[in-house]
């Protein structure tokens, strides 16, 4: 297993390297430059040129790429000009916020989705199945930002149960209950789509598994039905659910962009969108590489989990 | 095609989806012909009219444009964009996937690494960056949405292509000297096309959502053109003041995406051959019992007594009579062989005993199963469960499929014990070990920690037997336990079962299609054909002098060791399909001795003493 | 199957108990504490270093932390003393000598004196200054005419300009002229912008990235102490969320209320504040090529667009119709005699017919949003509809703001016939000087993206810039406005009245014509 992990980590290096090239090229392709973004209405060619020189953007592209890459390898992600602080500081701060939001949503969507899928499969064509199928369909058919805005209108503005936005109360907050209180709506809105996807997949995976011979064996042994479903069947179904969870993690992370905007969550998704709009090249590049790196690591973790669950997979 | 549609519309949700999306499509196509106000004419004084105001059925937007008109024109555009994006992504993604999967090796590796990179890139940022680079506009949004979905198709299609590329027909085409391009186009593509179409149909909805998302971020169609996403985007500013301007396009997106999803699911299911057989249904914990007539009141014979058992499969309008009134019993310490061709209903009979027939589609429609003085068919789930594996245990064919692949065999043994007895895990493990020794598994202690896939077929079968024995049941029902094994292993296992039966005095119902096996093990046999018993009697008597022509033909099929050059005769024709049984003797169409009488009316199972036969022209008189 | 027997009844029971639980355990809606003013901002500030920022959003925080030598007199755009108590201008208009206020210290305890002033300007303007690398300083060119800054004595400082430059004082009052603590810059280096030190009525307390910037009352302030204990600036980029926060009581004040949301704040519990400012929203017309090379066609466009409908309906009355290039907020320089082009589609059609430009195809650059751009897409769409109604054929191309600037600033030639634009300035000189002169064509480093050229206007603007007498300048600007309106190089559309909403717990709040947000006299109950 250890050797397998090392092998996977090594094979991730070219992927990450490729990502640095892609993100660098994309940023180079986007019209408009940081100087224009900073100067706004005052961006005369003269001012722009001077500012670009100050920002070190007058060097040839290839040279800029290798300077960036070299610095990054030494842990120096550079300085964001739109935020006027080191890129890595900002990334770490913002990523932890996203990690809380996306992490909770991911756990929610995994638990709720699998549970819904299992219940739905176990009671196929029953009331619970229909109710779940319908709820899940709503979840995956509504744009998450729309859902988020509707939730704000209902729960924050009309009922005043939950705070509109932000991560902590401005005053007197900062503790865990406060965080949870602020997390409820964005986490649910973000989890909605992924829950739907996971639930649908879990349902069909469970249906597939439930008609396998080893389920009949378990029943023939007299294993209680609860254990048949939540033990035997679910465990086998997890083999096909886990890879999808890995993919969903990516969607949750991306979907966080909308939710972070609607709920004003200080996360990295919104940071990256802002950074693209402001042409904050180093911030975009650093952020994307960071997020992609985490995603790659997460996927390796998923594969390892898969290997641990299924002894038939050679790791 | 009509069968497909029938299947599709049997799924009511899918039918609803189809109707909704069809009406939306019709509306979208007819939009230019409808008497609608111009979608782009502004009249700012009339802005934010509520729905149902005169002249504006759905009200007006922030510039006083008619919402209904914009909604329909917008739907038209959004559908076109969604479908086009799905099509573009599917075409390019599938092409990449097929090439990677077909060529394999380094090409595959290189391409898939690239796909990995794109997938690791947060997709919204990729889309955003693409739009920022290309400039705004619906066409560019389409390109962006398509581009970020290419990896999805590439991955899926590659997986399928890889499995196809190794298949015989591809090899054959290669040997026939076909070029790569031609193989891809004529052999591979037709096989992956259905998958591509299904994936595409399920992504259209997703694409529409994505385009709406880009509009939310301000990168969509160019004003004044309406698409659903930009309508939602433009209405956002007035979400609180004039919610209807966002709700109207919001609901339309919802309807489209939902109906596309429902329809897509329906199509996927309908194309799945398993749906037809009802196999996509989840089997319940216990077979459905729906007796049309009261259970027979006949007193129980032996330790397990099946009386007039009828089991059917209800698939759509068809009824398959798998078991048509079977009566069997087995005495303690006795081994009863149930023999017949595949499809004769012998396995279903066996599974019916403990309610293990997959249901749906299986239904037990009549008879009784008596055990310990109780009718198991009327028993509650819990009472039945307590007997399963404890009083009546099963040994199944093909233990690779019947043992759980993800649990260690020892744990599966322990579970069988702990489901019935409150014993500690270590005690249960000791008992499992004992059984492993009893069934002569070498190195039993270390074998307990093996997974099924780490064992040989013979070992797995021994595990299956050990698991059935673990609670000292009164009856073991063995359903072709040796079919997949080679002859030496088979002989060992039969000997083992025989020993166990004699040592522990348990009753065995042994289901097989093999007379050789029966001869070795069974005291008594019952021959089944088309769901009914056609002959029964002591093993030696039946083997020596089969009374039913079917039995005789069946025995004639068995090569006998040292029997010299006996003619092996196949039985002409096939067993009947049990949803349309002929009247009278079901074997008559294949029987050389059949007369018109054979197919006229019910033929009873008649006989004297232990022997009985269901034939009016028996080979041997059994009376 | 006993584990999850989900039936109608259990579903209902679960739902009810969840809702009951929710209602019972969650705290009631967050009430903001008294004495603490929470302001909904439109974005996260880039930096709190006044020399490094360009956005009005950031200025709103800065003016409460820092002070300049001079400031805009409350309610006007006239310059009055702040950290300087007075100044003298030399006869030729090239030397400005300021006397500084005694006894002012920065929040870090270091004294405010002539050395500090010199440090501030040298940091921005002198490339060899040891702290020039704490930049870049994008708006340093506001002071590009400053040749040198000299310390005359501890409390006197003298600026020498390369040429007379009338807007100099006004630029000093602009946030770029706010004074930072030299000691703090030396200590913080490039990170100074995240731990700012000034002399203002509030001191910096905390900046939580994307959550809040907190400033607290400066107990040692030299002037009138602040009315609140603290002010929290919350960046809420999404306008809907900002409105929702305001409605839910999560913030006490929000600026830049979306016009469509104003209706929500009509009740007793909110106050809507309005203030016209030096803002003009216009369409740049490409006078070099295409149909708009003809003055009659440009005028036709001015007649064709229903500006009343735009300001009253699209912008819900948050703007007024613009008459010319100079906004009325520059009261002294504004030509009162100028009437806006009336909405007269018939006249527009006639003009078009005369020019033979019926059915002219026009490309129209529209932005998705940007500083001072109000609601550019709906406005652009309405304008498109109006122009099409008189016989143009307009197609819109939208660009996100920074791309938009990248397209528009280098000139419209070969790309477009018209483009949206808006400016907020602090002096009547700025906009026409940068965007209407022949010498301000894009290839000469200006913003005259429509290539308007009129030697008379050029001459008037040069003269006004070097005249130090305000009345003379006013006269020159008024003449300029008349000519420009007649020439119609732009379609003059709107002058924005900035707005803000406060809850009824906020007192003493006024918006400034300078678009700055002075909060020291505000009280929060």
Q: Where do the structural domains in chain A lie, given as residue ranges?
A: 11-87, 97-309
Confidence of residue A204 (pLDDT cuts 50, 70, 90): confident
Give the model's pLDDT for residue B397: 82
What is the distance in angstroms between the Cα of A169 and the nearest Cα belonging to chain B? 23
Q: Residue B515 above 90 pLDDT?
A: no
Average pLDDT across chain C, whole number:
88
| Residue pointed to by tokens 């030509």 | C335
In a domain? residue C258: no
Portion of chain B with pLDDT greater than 90, in percent? 7
Confidence of residue C23 (pLDDT cuts 50, 70, 90): very low
What is the distance in angstroms between the Cα of A264 and the nearest Cα belonging to chain C? 6
Nearest residue in C to B245, CA atom: C260
B342-346, C74-78, C146-150, C477-481 — which is least confidently predicted?
A: B342-346
Helix intervals (H) in C430-513: 430-435, 455-466, 470-487
Q: Name the 3-class secondary structure at A231.
A: helix
Same domain flag for C217 and C365: no
Give the model's pLDDT for residue C3: 39
Q: Residue C485 above 90 pLDDT?
A: yes
Average pLDDT across chain A, whole number:
84
Average pLDDT over residues B197-219: 76
Nearest residue in A to C423, CA atom: A41
Give the model's pLDDT for residue C412: 92
Residues 255-274 of B with CB under 8 A from A: 257-258, 261-262, 265
CATH of the domain at C427: 3.10.105.10
Q: Please report the DSSP string for C445-456 in residue order.
A: TS--TT----HH
Confidence of residue B94 (pLDDT cuts 50, 70, 90): very high
C405 inside 8 A of chain B by CB: no
Q: Please give the structure tokens belonging to residue C183.
A: 């000691």
Q: Can you point out the beta strands (E) in C43-199?
A: 70-72, 79-81, 84-89, 95-100, 146-153, 156-161
Are β-strands C212-217 and C202-208 bridged in parallel, bridged antiparallel, or unpaired?
A: antiparallel
Give the model's pLDDT for residue C500: 92
Q: Residue B163 above 60 pLDDT?
A: yes
| Residue pointed to by tokens 């709009």 | A277
B361 inside 8 A of chain A by CB: no
B241 inside 8 A of chain C by CB: yes
Give the model's pLDDT for residue A51: 77
Q: Name the 3-class secondary structure at C77.
A: coil
Give the model's pLDDT for residue B276: 52
Same domain flag for C133 and C185: yes
More reliable by pLDDT, C184 or B132: C184
Confidence of residue C365 (pLDDT cuts 50, 70, 90): very high
- CA–CA separation, A13 and A15 (whole Å): 5
Q: Please give the structure tokens belonging to residue C187.
A: 């200590």
In a domain? residue C273: no
Tally of domains in chain C = 3
In a domain? residue C422: yes
Nearest residue in C to B45, CA atom: C313
Residue range of the domain that includes C100? 67-189
Give pLDDT tens digits for B381-423.
888 888 898 889 998 887 778 888 888 998 999 998 998 888 8
- CA–CA separation, B321 and B578 (whole Å): 5
Examine the fold and report which residue of C154, C189, C224 is the final residue of a domain before the chain moves on.
C189
- CA–CA separation, A179 and A167 (whole Å): 6
Give the model's pLDDT for residue B209: 81
* Chain-centre distance for alpha carbon A132: 24
In a domain? residue C259: no
Give the model's pLDDT for residue B561: 52
Q: Residue C437 above 90 pLDDT?
A: yes
Q: Residue B133 above 90 pLDDT?
A: no
Q: Residue B305 above 80 pLDDT?
A: yes
Average pLDDT over residues B529-552: 87
Can you list the domains of chain B with their CATH numbers? Answer: 68-271 (1.10.3720.10)
Same domain flag for C180 and C58: no
Same domain flag for C132 and C212: no
Cis check: omega of the bond before A41, within 30 degrees of 0: no
* Chain-centre distance for alpha carbon C154: 34
In a domain? residue C274: no
Average pLDDT over residues B285-311: 85
Give the model's pLDDT for residue C203: 95
Give the model's pLDDT for residue C22: 45
Give the model's pLDDT for residue B272: 66
Q: Residue C21 above 50 pLDDT?
A: no
Q: Residue B37 above 80 pLDDT?
A: yes
What is the distance in angstroms between the Cα of C509 and the nearest Cα belonging to chain B? 26
A33 inside 8 A of chain C by CB: yes
Q: Is B27 exposed, middle or buried (0-12, 13-18, 19+ CB in 10 A)?
A: middle
Same domain flag for C227 and C99: no
Q: How big is the B-C interface in CB pairs under 8 Å?
A: 83
CATH of the domain at C24: 3.40.190.10
B603-607, C103-107, C109-113 — which is least confidently predicted?
A: B603-607
Give pLDDT tens digits for C377-394.
889 999 999 999 999 999
B132 inside 8 A of chain C by CB: yes
Give the model's pLDDT for residue B366: 86
Nearest residue in A to B451, CA atom: A311
Give pLDDT tens digits for C261-281.
888 888 888 999 998 889 999
Q: Please report the DSSP string for C205-226 in residue order.
A: EEEETTTEEEEEE-TT-SSSPP
What phi, psi does C518 have (nearest 5°)? -85, 115
C243 inside 8 A of chain B by CB: yes
CATH class of the domain defined by A97-309? mainly alpha
Same domain flag for C295 and C222: no
In a domain? residue C270: no
Give pLDDT tens digits for B428-443.
999 899 888 888 888 9
Give the model's pLDDT for residue B286: 84
Angle at A154 between CA A152 and CA A160, to 5 degrees: 85
Average pLDDT across chain B, whole number:
83
- CA–CA separation, C149 and C160 (whole Å): 6
Q: Name the 3-class secondary structure at A72.
A: helix
Average pLDDT over residues C227-241: 88
Most C CBs within 10 Å, among A149, A165, A233, to test the C interface: A165
| Residue pointed to by tokens 């009219």 | B49
Set of chain B residues whose Cβ sits within 8 Å of the Cβ of C260: 48, 62, 237-238, 241-242
Give the model's pLDDT for residue C28: 41
HEC states along C379-441?
HHHHHHHHHHHCCCEEEEEEECHHHHHHHHCCCCCCCCCEEEEEEECCCCCHHHHHHCCHHHC
Average pLDDT over residues C234-249: 87
Average pLDDT over residues C119-131: 92
Q: Report which DSSP code applies to C48.
A: S
Give the model's pLDDT for residue B214: 77
Nearest residue in A to C407, CA atom: A32
Q: How many CA atoms lie within 13 A of B273 on its CB side?
A: 1
CATH of the domain at C121: 3.90.76.10
Give the model's pLDDT for residue C457: 94
Confidence of residue C113 (pLDDT cuts 50, 70, 90): very high
Same domain flag for C287 and C240: no
Same domain flag for C239 and C378: no
Measure Cα distances from B237 to B621, C307, C420, C425 in Å. 94, 21, 20, 27
Q: Please give the structure tokens belonging to residue C219.
A: 């107990």
Most C CBs within 10 Å, among A40, A152, A183, to test the C interface: A40
Give the model's pLDDT for residue C110: 94
- CA–CA separation, C173 and C77 (whole Å): 9
Same domain flag for C159 and C103: yes
Q: Residue C6 above 50 pLDDT?
A: no
Give the model's pLDDT for residue B92: 93
**Where does residue C369 fall: left (phi above 0), alpha (psi -120 to 50 degrees), or beta otherwise?**
left
Q: Is B94 exposed, middle or buried (0-12, 13-18, 19+ CB in 10 A)?
A: buried
Contact B431, B417 (CB under 8 A): yes
Same domain flag for C525 and C392: no
- CA–CA separation, C145 and C135 (whole Å): 19
Same domain flag for C325 and C304: yes
Q: Name the 3-class secondary structure at C13.
A: helix
Residues 432-491 of C with CB under 8 A from B: none
Give the model's pLDDT for residue C4: 41
Q: Residue A40 above 70 pLDDT?
A: no
What phi, psi does B330 have (nearest 5°)? -140, 140
Give pLDDT tens digits for A126-154.
788 888 888 888 888 888 888 888 888 88
Helix intervals (H) in B394-469: 399-402, 409-418, 425-438, 444-447, 457-469
B240/C244 CB distance under 8 A? yes
- CA–CA separation, A66 and B184 (whole Å): 41
Same domain flag for C239 and C139: no
Pick A221's closest partner by Cβ from B209, B258, B389: B389
- CA–CA separation, C279 and C282 (whole Å): 10
Q: Residue B566 above 50 pLDDT?
A: no
- CA–CA separation, B477 and B327 (whole Å): 15
Portion of chain B with pLDDT greater than 70, in percent? 94
């Amino acid at each position: 297993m250890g050797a397998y992990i090392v092998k996977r980590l090594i094979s991730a290096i070219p992927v990450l390297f490729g990502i640095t090239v892609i993100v660098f090229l994309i940023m180079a392709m986007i019209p408009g430059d940081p100087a224009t973004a900073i100067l706004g209405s005052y961006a005369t060619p003269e001012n722009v040129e001077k500012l670009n020189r100050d920002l070190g953007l007058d060097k040839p592209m290839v040279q800029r790429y290798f300077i960036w890459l070299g610095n990054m390898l030494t842990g120096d992600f550079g300085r964001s000009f739109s935020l006027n602080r080191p890129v890595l500081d900002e990334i770490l701060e913002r990523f932890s916020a996203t990690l809380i939001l996306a992490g909770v949503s991911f756990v929610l969507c995994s638990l709720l989705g699998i549970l819904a899928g299992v219940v739905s499969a176990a009671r196929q064509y029953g009331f619970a199945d229909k109710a779940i199928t319908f709820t899940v369909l709503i979840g995956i058919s509504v744009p998450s930002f729309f859902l988020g805005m509707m939730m704000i209108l209902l729960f924050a503005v009309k009922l005043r149960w939950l705070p509109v936005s932000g991560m902590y109360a401005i005053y007197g907050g900062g503790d865990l209950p406060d965080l949870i209180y602020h997390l409820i709506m964005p986490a649910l809105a973000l989890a909605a789509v992924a829950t739907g996807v996971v639930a649908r997949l879990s349902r069909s995976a469970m249906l597939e598994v439930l008609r396998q011979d080893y389920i009949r064996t378990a029943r023939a042994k007299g294993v209680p039905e609860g254990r048949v479903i939540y033990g035997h069947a679910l465990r086998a179904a997890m083999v096909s659910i886990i890879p999808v969870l890995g993919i969903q993690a990516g969607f949750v992370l991306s979907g966080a962009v909308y939710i972070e905007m609607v709920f004003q969550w200080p996360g990295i998704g919104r940071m990256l969108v802002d950074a693209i709009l402001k042409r904050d090249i180093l911030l975009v590049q650093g952020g994307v590489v960071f997020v992609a790196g985490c995603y790659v690591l997460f996927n390796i973790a998923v594969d390892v989990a898969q290997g641990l669950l299924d002894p038939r997979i050679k790791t | 095609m009509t069968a497909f549609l029938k299947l599709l519309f049997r799924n009511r949700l899918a039918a609803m989806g189809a109707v909704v999306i069809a009406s939306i499509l019709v509306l979208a196509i007819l939009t230019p012909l409808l008497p609608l106000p111009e979608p782009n004419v502004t009249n700012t004084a009339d802005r934010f009219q509520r729905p149902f105001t005169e002249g504006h059925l759905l009200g007006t937007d922030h510039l006083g444009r008619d919402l209904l008109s914009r909604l329909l024109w917008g739907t038209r555009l959004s559908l076109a964009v969604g479908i086009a994006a799905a099509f573009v992504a599917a075409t390019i993604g599938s092409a990449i996937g097929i090439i990677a999967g077909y060529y394999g090796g380094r090409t595959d590796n290189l391409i898939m690494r690239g796909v990995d990179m794109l997938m690791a890139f947060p997709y919204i940022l990729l889309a955003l960056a693409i739009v920022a680079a290309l400039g705004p506009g619906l066409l560019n949004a389409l390109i962006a949405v398509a581009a970020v979905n290419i990896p999805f198709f590439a991955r899926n299609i590659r997986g399928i292509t890889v499995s196809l590329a190794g298949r015989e027909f591809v090899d054959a085409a290669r040997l026939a000297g076909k070029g790569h391009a031609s193989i891809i186009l004529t052999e591979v593509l037709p096989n992956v096309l259905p998958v591509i179409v299904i994936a595409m149909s399920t992504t259209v909805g997703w694409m529409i959502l994505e385009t709406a998302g880009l509009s939310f971020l301000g990168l969509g169609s160019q004003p004044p053109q309406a698409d659903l996403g930009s309508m939602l985007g433009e209405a956002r500013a007035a979400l609180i003041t004039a919610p209807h301007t966002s709700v109207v396009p919001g609901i339309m997106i919802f309807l489209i995406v939902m109906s596309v999803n429902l329809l897509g699911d329906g199509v996927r299911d309908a194309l799945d051959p398993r749906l037809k057989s009802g196999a996509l249904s989840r089997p319940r914990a216990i077979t459905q019992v729906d007796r049309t007539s009261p259970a027979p009141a006949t007193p129980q014979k032996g330790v397990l007594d099946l009386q007039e058992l009828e089991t059917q499969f209800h698939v759509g309008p068809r009824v398959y009579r798998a078991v048509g009134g079977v009566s069997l019993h087995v005495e303690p310490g006795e081994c009863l062989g149930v023999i017949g061709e595949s499809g004769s209903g012998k396995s279903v009979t066996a599974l019916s005993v403990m309610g293990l027939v997959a249901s749906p589609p299986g239904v037990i429609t009549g008879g009784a199963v008596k055990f310990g003085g109780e009718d198991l068919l009327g028993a509650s789930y819990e009472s039945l469960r307590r007997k399963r594996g404890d009083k009546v245990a099963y040994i199944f064919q093909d233990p690779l499929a019947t043992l759980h692949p993800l649990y260690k065999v020892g744990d599966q043994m322990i579970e069988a014990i702990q489901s019935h007895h409150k014993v500690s895990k270590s005690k249960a493990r000791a008992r499992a070990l004992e059984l492993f020794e009893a069934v002569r598994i070498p190195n039993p202690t270390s074998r307990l920690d093996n997974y099924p896939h780490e064992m040989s077929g013979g070992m797995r079968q021994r595990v299956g037997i050990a698991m059935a024995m673990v609670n000292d049941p009164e009856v073991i029902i063995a359903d072709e336990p040796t079919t997949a094994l080679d002859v030496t292993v088979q002989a060992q296992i039969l000997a083992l079962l025989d020993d166990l039966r004699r040592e522990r005095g348990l009753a065995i119902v042994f289901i097989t299609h093999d007379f050789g096996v029966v001869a070795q093990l069974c005291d008594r046999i019952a021959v089944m054909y088309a769901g009914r018993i056609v002959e029964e009697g002591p093993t030696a008597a039946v083997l020596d002098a089969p009374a039913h022509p079917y039995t005789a033909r069946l025995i004639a099929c068995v090569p006998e060791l040292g029997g010299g050059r006996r003619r092996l005769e196949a039985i002409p024709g096939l067993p009947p399909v049990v949803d349309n049984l002929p009247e009278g003797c079901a074997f008559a169409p294949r029987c050389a001795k059949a007369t018109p009488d054979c197919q006229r009316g019910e033929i009873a199972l008649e006989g004297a003493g232990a022997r009985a036969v269901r034939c009016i022209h028996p080979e041997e008189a059994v009376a | 199957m006993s584990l999850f027997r989900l039936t109608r009844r259990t579903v209902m029971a679960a739902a009810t108990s969840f809702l009951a639980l929710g209602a019972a355990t969650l705290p009631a809606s967050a009430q903001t504490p008294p004495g603490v003013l929470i302001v909904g901002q439109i974005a996260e500030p880039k930096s709190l270093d006044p020399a490094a920022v360009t956005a009005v959003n950031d200025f709103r925080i800065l003016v409460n932390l820092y002070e300049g030598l001079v400031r805009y007199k409350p309610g006007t755009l006239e310059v009055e003393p702040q950290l300087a108590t007075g100044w003298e201008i030399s006869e030729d208009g090239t030397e400005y000598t300021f006397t500084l206020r005694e006894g002012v210290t920065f929040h870090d305890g270091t004294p405010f004196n002539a050395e500090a002033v010199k440090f501030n300007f040298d940091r921005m303007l002198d490339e060899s200054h040891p702290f020039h690398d704490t930049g870049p300083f994008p708006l340093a060119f506001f002071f590009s005419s400053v040749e040198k800054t000299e310390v005359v004595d501890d409390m006197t400082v003298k600026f020498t300009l390369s040429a007379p430059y009338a807007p100099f004082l006004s630029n000093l009052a602009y946030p770029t002229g706010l004074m930072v603590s030299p000691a703090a810059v030396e200590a913080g280096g490039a990170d100074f912008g995240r731990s700012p030190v000034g002399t203002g009525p509030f001191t910096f307390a905390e900046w939580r990235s994307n959550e809040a910037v907190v400033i607290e009352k400066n107990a040692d302030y030299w002037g009138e102490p602040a009315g609140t204990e603290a002010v929290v600036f919350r960046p809420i980029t999404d306008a809907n969320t900002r409105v929702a926060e305001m409605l839910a009581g999560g913030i006490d004040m929000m600026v830049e209320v979306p016009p469509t949301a104003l209706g929500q704040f009509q009740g007793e519990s909110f106050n809507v504040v309005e203030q016209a400012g030096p803002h003009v929203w216009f369409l740049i017309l490409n006078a070099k090529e295409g149909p708009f090379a003809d003055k009659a066609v440009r005028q036709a466009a001015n007649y064709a667009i229903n500006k009343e409908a735009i300001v009253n309906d699209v912008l819900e009355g948050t703007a007024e119709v613009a008459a010319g290039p100079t906004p009325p907020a520059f009261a002294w320089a504004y030509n009162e005699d100028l009437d806006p082009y009336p909405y007269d589609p018939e006249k527009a059609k006639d003009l078009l017919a005369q020019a033979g430009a019926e059915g002219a195809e026009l490309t129209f650059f529209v932005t998705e949003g940007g500083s001072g751009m109000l609601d550019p897409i709906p406005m652009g769409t309405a304008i498109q509809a109006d122009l099409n109604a008189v016989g143009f054929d307009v197609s819109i191309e939208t660009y996100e703001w920074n791309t938009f600037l990248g397209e528009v600033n280098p000139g419209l030639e070969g790309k477009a016939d018209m483009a949206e634009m808006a400016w907020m300035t602090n002096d009547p000189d700025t906009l026409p000087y940068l965007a209407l002169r022949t010498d301000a064509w894009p290839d000469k480093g200006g913003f005259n993206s429509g290539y308007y050229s009129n030697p008379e206007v050029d001459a008037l603007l040069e003269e006004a810039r070097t005249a130090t007498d305000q009345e003379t300048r006013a006269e020159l600007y008024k003449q300029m406005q008349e000519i420009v309106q007649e020439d119609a190089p732009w379609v003059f559309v709107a002058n924005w009245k900035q707005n803000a909403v406060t809850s009824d717990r906020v007192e003493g709040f006024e918006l400034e014509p300078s678009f700055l947000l002075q909060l020291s006299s505000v009280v929060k109950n």
